Amino acid sequence: MVRIMRRIMYYARLGRSHYRLMWTLIICVPIVYVFLELLRQPNLIKKRFHPLQIKQDVVLSGAKEDTESLCILPPLQQQLISARPLYTLNCTAAEPNWVTSEGGTFRITDATRSAYPDVKCAMVPVLRDDDFSVYYGEAVDDISTNRQLINDFFVANCASEQRSKQYQLLHAGIAPKLSKEAPYIKQNQKPLSIILFGLDSVSREAWKRYLPKSYGYFINDIGGVVFEKFNILGDGTTPNLLPMLTGHLESELYESRRGFNNSKPVDDYPWIWRELAAKNYTTQFGEDGSKYGTFQYRLLGFKKQPTDHYMRPFYLKLDELYPHRKYGCLGSKPLHQVKIDWQKDFLDVYRNRKKFTFVFHSELSHEDNYYLSPMDADLLAYLRYLKESKHLDDSILILMSDHGHRYAKTRSTLQGKYEERLPFLGIALPKRLKDAHPIETKQLIKNQNRLITPLDLHATMRHAAEFFTPQPPPQHQENTKTTSKREAGVSLFTPISEKRNCAQIGIEAHWCACLAWQSLSPLGTNVKTIGYYVVAQFNAQTEKHRDQCAELTFSKLLAVDGYAPSTKILSFKASADADGRNPDFSDTMSAGYRLYRLTIETLPNHGHYEVTVQEDIASHRLSMDINSVSRVNAYRQQAACLGDKLPHLRALCYCLHQKSEEQKAVKSGSGASIK
C-alpha cells in the first residue's frame, strides 16, 4: 500500500496534464484494496455485513409466474406462548336432558324413566318454510320411547304429574326417508361414501395445537394424510366453501349477492351433493349459526332444501327459542356434540347406502380457537366410533377447515397471517380403496406436499365417487369449463406438479402463502458467508467424534435461492368490502426473516448438501434445522468407521481413513443419491 501511494505522489509531480489520472487512482485503489481483503478474509463479511437483501416479489407465486420455483412455506410454530389455561365447557349444570334421538328414533332416557315413572311426552315437529323461517308442524301426543321420528327436528314437551316436573327442549335427529332406500349392495361392490367434518377458522397448526388427541388418532390409528400446502382462495368462509362444493370460484358463478341486480338464490349452482344425488347418494348438510350462514349472510340462500337432510331449520329455531342460552350448550349437551350425533345418526340410519355428508361447526372456533379444546375428547370419541363401527370401511373421511383464524389480533402477527392462509385438511382412505387402487393411494400421499386449494378437494371428491363403479370415467381434473385463466381443479388421486404456483390455480397474490422467490448468484460473496455458516453447523455435529470424522471445509456454492414474506401479505390488512373482493393494503408490517435454500459442496468428502437457512432480519442471526439437511450425492463407505452406532451422522462424517478407490468413486459422482 505504501508503494502505491508513493507512485501516486510521483504522478502528482508530473504536472496539470496528469491530474485526471491521479484522481482516478486515488478513488480506485482503496476500492480494489478492500475487495482483495474481502476475498482473502471472507469471514469479515459475516462480521460487517448481513446477507443479501432479497427484493420481495421479484418472482412471487401468485403475482408473476415462475415455473421453475417450488412453493416454499414459511416456518410456523405449532406451540405459541400463552398464559391462558385450557378452556373447559361446562354443560352439566343443567338437569340432564330427558330425551334423546338415536338411529332415527325418539327415546326417553333410562334415567328419566327411573326418576319420573309417569313421564309423558309430545313431539312437535319444526318444519322449514324457507332458508330464513320455520314453523311448527302438528304435534304428536303421548308418544312412547323408541318411536320412529317423523321429522329431523322437533321440540320435546314432557311432564311428570306425580313430581310436578316439566321438560321442553329442541332436539335433532334423522327421520329416515324410506323413498331413498335402495336394494342392498354387496360390500365389495359398494361405491365410496364421503364423510366431511369441518371446523370454522382453524389453521393446520391450530388444529394440532388445540385438538392434539383427536389429531393423533386421525394420523396414527386411522392413517389420515394431512396436506401441508392447502391454500385458501379468498377472505372468509364463502369464498372457500363454494369452490369446494361447486368446483368454481364465487366470481365464476351467477350473481347471488344481496342488493345486486338480477341476483337469485343459489339453488342452481353446480353443487356436488346434487351431482351425487343423481347417482342415488343420500345427502346431508348442516352448519350452525342462523344469522351468519355461509350461503345466507351475503348470498340469498336456498329456495328449496338442498339436501335430503338439512340442519338450518334447527338453528333458526334454536336462536329463536334460546337467544340467551349458555355458550356452547343445549340443555346438558354441548352443541358440537349435537352436530356430531346428527352426522353419526345419518351414517347409522343409511348404513347400507352410499352417502355424502358435510357438517360444519363454527361456534367454538370462529371467534377464538382457544375455545376449541373441549371438543378434542368428543372428536376423538367420534373418530373411534367411525373406525370401530366399520363406517370407514367404505367411506373416505375428510377433516377440514375453510381458513385459519382471521381477526385483528391474529392478523397483527406474521405467523397469524400465514396461518389464516393455510387451513387444516386431512384425508383418510378405506383399506378397500388402498388395496384396489394402490397407485392412486400413493399419489394422494405424495400430494400432501403439493400446493392445493378447495378446487382440488372438489375434484378429489368427484373422483372418489367414481371408484367401484362400472367403467368409471377418468377424473384427472374437473370437467367444468371456467371463464378465468386459472387451471381447473385436479384430483389428489392424480399427479400434481411440485412446480405449481398460485397464479396458475387462481390464488391471488395476497392470499398466496408461498414465500416470494429470487434466484441468487452462487458467486456472490455475501451468500457464500451462509455456506461457511452451514459447514460450521455440520462440524459442530461431528465435533465429539473428531478422532474418527474429519473436519469439513466449505468448497463452493452450487445453487442458492432466496425467499422472504411477500409484500402483498405484509401489507394486506383486511378486505375493504363485504364480499372480500377488494383488498386493503394499508398494513405497515415488515418481514421478520428471510430464508435461503442452498446447495453446497464440502471437502474433503466432495459432499453435496441441500439445506435451508433462516436469517433474522433485525439481528442478522442465522439458524437452521440440522435434521432437515439432505445429502444429495452418494457417500458410499465414507462413514464406514461409524458402523451402525451413529446413523444420524453418516451423511456428515468423512472418516479419517478412507479407501482410495472410494475417494475416486465419490469424486466421479457415481452412486445413488440419498438423503
HEC-encoded secondary structure of 562-583:
EEECCHHHHHCCEECCCCCCCE
Q: What is the pLDDT of residue 560?
A: 84
Whole-number CA gyration radius for the chain: 32
To 10 degrees, the CA torsion angle through 466, 442, 244, 313? 70
**Which one has a higher pLDDT value, 277 or 28?**
277
d(CA 75, CA 72): 9
Distances (CA, A) of 652 to 87, 354, 630: 46, 53, 10
Q: 504 in a domain, yes or no?
A: yes
494 and 523 share a domain?
Answer: no
Q: What mean pLDDT value characterizes the chain?
A: 82
Distances, alpha carbon 442 to alpha carbons 81, 196, 429, 492, in Å: 37, 21, 11, 10
Lowest mean pLDDT among 175-179, 200-204, 445-449: 175-179
For position 45, what pLDDT does the model report? 37
CB 556, CB 586: distance < 8 Å: no
Same domain, residue pair 326 and 213: yes
Does residue 418 have a pLDDT over 50?
yes
Asked whether residue 279 falls in the same domain as residue 421, the answer is yes
Q: Are residues 532 and 631 in the same domain?
A: yes
Q: Quick one: 340 and 368 in the same domain?
A: yes
Domain identity same for 530 and 391: no
Residue 55 and residue 196 in one domain? no
492 lies in a domain?
yes
Domain annotation covers residue 91: no
Question: Distance between CA atoms of 9 and 172, rounded to whole angstroms?
Answer: 98
Task: Please return the burial class of 23, using the count of CB atoms within 10 Å of its CB with bins 0-12, 13-18 and 19+.
Answer: exposed
Report the predicted TM-score, pTM, of the whole model to 2 decimal places: 0.75
**The pairing of beta strand 309-310 with beta strand 516-520:** unpaired
From 495, 404, 425, select the one nearest 201 (Cα to Cα): 404
384's enclosing H/E stretch is: helix 375-388
Tens digit of pLDDT for each residue in 304-329?
999 999 999 999 999 999 999 999 99
> What pLDDT was estimated at residue 499?
86
| Residue range of the domain that includes 587 | 47-60+515-668
CA–CA distance, 234 with 458 (Å, rounded to integer): 16
Q: How many CA atoms lie within 13 A of 494 on its CB side?
A: 16
Q: What is the pLDDT of residue 83?
A: 53
Residue 227 identity (one-letter amino acid): F
**Mean pLDDT of all residues in 623-627:** 86
- Looking at the fold, whether 497 and 532 belong to one and the same domain comes out as no
For 303-322, b where at least 16 C-beta lie within 10 A, e where not — what string?
eeebbbbbbbbbbbbbeeee
Q: How far apart are CA 552 and CA 545, in angstroms?
A: 13
502 and 516 Cβ atoms separated by less than 8 Å: no
Q: Between the CA of residue 99 and those of 119, 318, 326, 344, what are the distances in Å?
A: 11, 16, 19, 17
Residue 185 within any structural domain of the chain:
yes
| pLDDT score of 233 | 93
Which one is predicted more confidently, 137 or 84?
A: 137
User: Which residues have a Cβ under 8 Å from the Cβ of 59 and sit 6 or more positions away?
Assistant: 66, 69, 516, 517, 518, 519
Q: Are 500 and 513 in contact (CB under 8 A)?
A: no
CA dist 597 and 557 (Å) reads 11
Q: 9 pLDDT exceeds 90? A: no
Which band of pLDDT confidence, cut at 50, 70 and 90, is reported for residue 665? Answer: very low
pLDDT at 574: 62
The DSSP bridge partners found for residue 99 are: 108
Q: How much is the average pLDDT of 226-244?
A: 94
How far, in Å, CA of 303 to CA of 21, rounded?
A: 87
Query: Which residue did the predictor score with more confidence, 331 or 563?
Result: 331
Give, in order, the Cα–Cα distances in Å from 606 to each of 116, 521, 558, 600. Answer: 83, 21, 12, 10
Least confident of 7-16, 330-339, 369-378, 412-421: 7-16
We report the CATH number of the domain holding residue 662 as 3.10.450.10
pLDDT tens digits, one per residue of 109-157: 999 999 999 999 999 999 999 999 999 999 999 887 889 999 999 999 9
30 and 56 co-located in one domain: no
pLDDT of 198 over the 80 cut? yes
**69 in a domain, yes or no?**
no
The domain tally of the chain equals 3
Is the distance from CB of 423 to CB of 403 less than 8 angstroms?
yes
Q: How confident is the model at residue 55 (pLDDT cuts 50, 70, 90)?
A: very low
State how far Cα 525 lies from the chain centre. Answer: 38
Are 11 and 54 members of one domain? no
**pLDDT of the residue at 415:** 84
Quick one: 413 and 519 in the same domain? no
Residue 615 located in a structural domain: yes
**CATH code at position 221:** 3.40.720.10
Number of other CB atoms surrounding residue 335 within 10 Å: 23
Task: Give me the mean pLDDT over the 581-600 stretch.
Answer: 70
Q: Do 414 and 435 contact (CB within 8 A), yes or no?
A: no
